[in-house]
Structure 1
């Protein structure tokens, strides 16, 4: 009799535990759905709101050894069907070390675009979308790309304000106004949304596009630091909801969540960055396609491959 009572108590305890776990799962699911839909409602006019992927022929390779390369694009489209890429980066993520690197490729870098000859690299996006950019990078730099993500700058401010609600502190060296639709005054200050977008897009300074690339890497690094906080983890469903209509990507949701979880696990790691072309490896020239950066292709190919490569110690982590 006592034995049966004990068995019944165990069964009841197990049922209660399962019920609690199920209730918790349902609560989290409802919260995530609510947050995601809340994010979508704030971004209902995004360029990619209908989830119709504009580029279906991307032939990225499968990630090897836990290392992922994602092409990041920002477009300067103002309604054109075939706009050039305003920003081109390679985001490198190592699933073993949870480290992230950013390589920025200058838009005027003079390279061979398959089927189109020597052109500025930002023309590849207009000629053939992410796939042609992938082929161009593979041919010129011998780097394999796995995924792509295109960011509509209209949604940049919305995404940043959720990921970094306290804003991003920057030190503006001089007045910035031309071409960004606003005036940013010199000095240290905290920027939000649209003003931060103006800061990273401004290129009419003494460093021209080089200064813009430096600012973009600075802001990406600072946003990454805030993105790995508990605040961002709790708001991840809403962030994904806000971002969805403004980003066209072939990165699947499990991979996005895996990267997000990994970045949080490795939040103490600083983000490394590089600019292509590297210092003392290019010349300013004017050719038939305009002003370009004529690069030492071998020097820059090696610099990019060395930057993206993991060290032996890094590869041993997690094994």
Structure 2
């Protein structure tokens, strides 16, 4: 027969076990919350990384100089040429979006320097002077890189070319993006692609986001500004993603519309570095300044020589590993 004293001891032990179990659960939940990003990365590496790497490898398209270039360490600043390719039936592929970006992983900063697509410059490899977006049409990423390097007098470490046709699916897959549209955006010129975007929506999905980027009836300044805003919004939404199981879907969508000379290991390491930060990278923007000019029957954008020199200095500052918050050159106001 169990004594009263033994019964009390058993109840006490059960209560003690329950308290310890509850305390342990709370502790584990607390650790899980505090290290939720690290745990997500661990889960990704354990379950998804191999398949994602396989898909990313299909997008790898070197331009010929990779084997001679020193390996970039993620602690060092590097440049990435972003090319938005507008592929339409019956027309050559042109880079309608050209953004020279500098990523400073250690500082968690990104510079986006927009080059207007109609900029009049030497096209390296063709011995002609024409619109900069024609370089991709005639020589792909390699000619675009050579032309941009010649214009900005700074190295392009990597490129990433994204076909606009895949943009809609990517935006839809992440659940849309926030865009600061306060009035109707509409192409009214009959020679332009028909599009219309309504203002003040809380979220914009693929078709509207693509129209927002493509709209062309205001100015180069506004167009390139929209492109930079879209990139920032897309990055913010991607970093908000709670479900890592969506990553393979996104990679699959992007895979057939994306080419780069960054290898899969570098991309994944960069993504992990960015994701583990407490906030999204700080993005600073600039656009090459100039004026439109007709040459014959064609409209071009003439870059201001003094502004071009300023942009070259800006990039040099951002690419320097010796630059810090105290001496880093920040983009001047473009108003």
The aligned residue for residue 8 of structure 1 is none
The structure 2 residue matched to 1:276, chosen from 283, 288, 293, is 288
Q: Report the number of matched residues.
A: 277
The aligned residue for residue 286 of structure 1 is 294
What SS class does the counterpart of residue 198 from structure 1 fall into?
Answer: helix
* CA 113–257 in structure 1, closer or farther in 2 if over 3 Å, else same: same
CA–CA distance in 2 between the matches of 1:186 and 1:81?
31
Structure 1 residue 125 displacement after superposition: 1.1
What SS class does the counterpart of residue 236 from structure 1 fall into?
Answer: helix
8 Å Cα contact 2:80/2:158 also seen in 1? yes
What SS class does the counterpart of residue 73 from structure 1 fall into?
Answer: strand
C-alpha distance after superposition, 1:139-193 (max 9, x if no partner) = 1211100111111112111212233x15324324234144444422244542111
Unmatched tracts of structure 1, length 5 or more: 1-24, 41-48
The aligned residue for residue 203 of structure 1 is 216
8 Å Cα contact 1:150/1:248 also seen in 2? yes
- Between structure 1 and structure 2, the one with the greater Rg is 2
Q: Which moved more, 1:104-113 or 1:287-296?
A: 287-296
CA–CA distance in 2 between the matches of 1:36 and 1:253?
8
The aligned residue for residue 166 of structure 2 is 155
Structure 1 residue 196 displacement after superposition: 0.8
Structure 1 residue 90 displacement after superposition: 1.8
8 Å Cα contact 1:96/1:315 also seen in 2? no
Q: Output the TM-score relative to the length of structure 2.
A: 0.71
Q: What is the alpha-carbon root mean square deviation over aligned residues?
A: 3.5
CA–CA distance in 2 between the matches of 1:167 and 1:299?
33
The aligned residue for residue 126 of structure 1 is 137
Pairing of 1:80-159 with structure 2 (within 5 A):
80=90, 82-114=92-124, 115-159=126-170
* CA 203–61 in structure 1, closer or farther in 2 if over 3 Å, else same: farther
- 1:299 equivalenced with 2:299 (yes/no): no
Higher relative contact order (CA 8 A, sep 6+): 1
- 1:71 equivalenced with 2:81 (yes/no): yes
CA–CA distance in 1 between the matches of 2:141 and 2:171?
24
Structure 1 residue 230 displacement after superposition: 4.9
- 1:250 equivalenced with 2:266 (yes/no): no
What SS class does the counterpart of residue 309 from structure 1 fall into?
Answer: helix
